[in-house]
Structure formats: C-alpha cells, structure tokens
A = this chain, B = another copy of it.
Amino acid sequence: MDTEIQSYIDEAVKKAVDEQFTTALKKNSKAAIIASKGTLDMAYPPLILASTCAALDIECQVFFTFYGLDILRKGKNAHLGVPPVGNPAMPVPVPNIIGMLPGMTAMATKMMNGWMGKVGVPTIPELLDTCVESDVKIIACQMTMDVMGIKREELIDDIELGGAATFLNYATGCNITLLV
C-alpha cells in the first residue's frame, strides 16, 4: 500500500482515538449501580439515579444486595424506615437517647415520607415501577437471598437473580459505576 496512505491512516486513527474518546465515552455510556442499603433514605439514591438514567437514555442495571434486597421485597418495600439514631445529620436532629424510645423510627419515617410527598417525590414502589417500565434491568443478589433465607416469591416480578460476577461482568462495559 502507498506509504502516504498508510501514514494518513495512522494519523487519522491517532486523532480519532484521542479526540473521539470523550464522545465515545458519552455515547457508550452505561451505568452499573449497587443498592446495598435498606433504609428509606438510602433506598432513594439508586432508584432516582436509575430512573434518571432511563430518562436520559443511559442503559442501566441495578444490583440489589445485602439490606438493599429489602427494596425488592413485596409489601416490605412500601414500609422502609429511617433510623432516628446514629445520624447527627437528620434534618431535625433527635438526641440519641430520645431516638431510642419505641416509636421514634416510625416517627422519623413518617416525617421523611411527608417531606418527600409534599414536593412530589414518588414513593419507593412507584420509583421501582418506573425503573422496570423504562427497561432498567433489576438484579437480586442470590447470595443475600441464601444468607437471609429470602424466597424468590417474596420479591417483585420482572427481576433477575445473579451474583457479584453478574454485576462485574456488566460493569466492565460501563463507565458509570456507583455503590449506594
């Protein structure tokens, strides 16, 4: 082949790989999210991120593991709680000794649900429905189910089961990876 053509190609390739890298990163953008917490406050971030990914046309999978599996439990996921203890950052800080009293978890949870509803933030089951309907793939951690003795029928439909390898194999094709 003509050496002129060769060197033109070499240069074009170098330029394309360099310059189009950011574009390619954007275009091929995929998100892999781990949801490992089961409190009401920490159930929001993975679901808000995943549903926003869907709205932005970013392919997304969420892997629910450890306490995060509660977000997928039928019945239970509509009643996740906020702990009023051990959290000096609570909007209305509650002294730990008061937060200990029976009923305080229920009260903190009611407060947070009230705030969320007032500004139109959907509930956890609503956000989950949005994710499923907009093709966010939801994966329940099989190991956590075994450890905690949770059966498939306790979880919502439209999910798959998998393990850390399932998550990592998907994550290798992603640039956005987050653990909540």
List A residues at the B interface (Cβ < 8 Å). 1-2, 4-6, 8-10, 12-14, 16-18, 20-22, 24-29, 31-32, 34, 36-42, 44-45, 48-49, 52-53, 55-56, 58, 65-67, 70, 80-91, 95-97, 99-102, 104-105, 109, 115-116, 118-119, 121, 143, 146-148, 163-165, 167-169, 171-180
Contacts and interface: CB of A to CB of B under 8 A. Distances in A.
Copies of the chain in the assembly: 3
A164 B100 contact: no
A10 to B, nearest CB: 6
Contact of A70 (B42, B66, B89, B99): B89
B172 A26 contact: yes
A82 B84 CA distance: 14
A9 B16 contact: yes
Contacts of A45: 34, 36, 65-66, 179
Contact of A100 (B6, B16, B96, B118): B96
Nearest to A41: B66
A29 B90 CA distance: 35
Given A24-B17, A37-B89, A96-B104, A143 B119 contact: yes
Contacts of A22: 28, 173
Contact of A38 (B9, B58, B67, B89): B89
Contacts of A88: 38-40, 80-83, 105, 109
